[in-house]
Amino acid sequence: MKLKLGENLGTRGAALFREAGHEVATVYEQRLTSSPDDNLIDVCTAEGRCLVTLDLDFSNPFLYPPWEYAGIAVLRLSSKGGIKELWSLCRLLIAGLVKDDLHGKLWIVQRGRIREYRPDREDEPWFL
């Protein structure tokens, strides 16, 4: 899968996804650091890449309707989360990408689970 990693995932994050076989571009490598959110998601769209980010703004489906994009995965650290938790969330996302396609979807990746935004399925829980 083609991914764009947000600026907080660094070279170790990129290495984890590349080792799992994903085609990765990073915000840092492409000199998009501190780029406005709208610009970043437009670049992802133009490149056909799913965005993997810690930026909670992208978890709002009313601002960024997931079906308009290649996919959005928001890594949500706990209040005491550190680097080990970040790598754990990356590995959880990688495992999720083996089971399902992120294209056109919004996934919230938290400790031990991935939630998928499903606006048309009110009767189903918001988890994968």
pLDDT digits (tens, 9 = 90+) for 39-86: 999 999 999 999 999 999 999 999 999 999 999 999 999 988 889 999
AA letter at 28:
Y
Mean pLDDT (whole number) for 78-98: 93
Q: Which residue is associated with the tokens 């709208």?
A: 38
Q: What is the pTM of this model?
A: 0.90
Does the pLDDT at position 123 exceed 60? no
Decide: 92 and 109 in contact? Cβ < 8 Å. yes
The domains found in the chain, sorted by start residue, are 2-116 (3.40.50)
- Quickly state the pLDDT bin for 3 (edges 50, 70, 90): very high
